[in-house]
Structure 1
Amino acid sequence: MLHFIFQLPIDSATLARIDADDVVVFFESALFKLLKTGVFSELLTEKLKTNRLCVVADELVVRGIAADTLLCGLDIIDYTELVNLSVSNTLIQSWT
């Protein structure tokens, strides 16, 4: 399954609904939860062991977030890869 997470707040209950091997793409203000210093950094680091967590490069630029401030292991993708993920996943859950 592919998950799109857009807005804050992200809570642990939302993250618990993400199964192993699901792919998650973060957008908009949800990107701020991916910072190394974020409240969910430990929980998201654990998710990285079983899930692919992604951000779109242009989303980082728009918000002025440097890649080196993000959790290690996140995939920074472009819009072509986002389309590929959307096509290859039959189920998509949007968390807004």
Structure 2
Amino acid sequence: MLHLLSQLPLQAAVIERIGSGDDVVLMDGAVCAARAGHSANDLLRQLLSQSCRIYALQEMLLVHGVEPLLLLSGVESVDYAGLVELTVQNPVIHSWC
């Protein structure tokens, strides 16, 4: 399953609903949570420990001034083409706003 997270703060109740091995894309303001040292890093680490793959949308990283080199270890940046690829690989998509 693909989960699209777009708002900060990240909610623990939402994170708990993401299944082991799911893909997660951080969009809009949620990309800020992927910056190393952010208060939401613990929630993202929880997902990473469950073998989830976490991506931050490149264009939103630029908009919010988050340098890809400063991302939390395990979080990858993805462009729009990569996002489309993830939607093809995951026929079930859940958007969390």
TM-score scaled to structure 1, two decimals? 0.91
Q: Within 5 Å, give how 1:7-22 maps onto structure 2.
A: 7-22=7-22
Structure 1 runs of 4+ with >4 Å offset:
none
Give the corresponding residue for 1:54: 55
Q: Within 5 Å, give how 1:16-55 maps onto structure 2.
A: 16-49=16-49, 50-55=51-56
CA RMSD of aligned residues (A): 1.2
CA distance in 1 between counterparts of 2:40 and 2:6 reads 15
**Structure 2, unaligned runs of 5 or more:** none
Give the corresponding residue for 1:67: 68
> What do residues 34-91 of structure 1 show as CA deviations (whole Å, max 9, x unaligned)?
1221122123123113100001211111111111222011111111111011111111
**Structure 1, unaligned runs of 5 or more:** none
Number of residue pairs matched?
96
TM-score scaled to structure 2, two decimals? 0.90
Aligned with 2:54: secondary structure?
strand
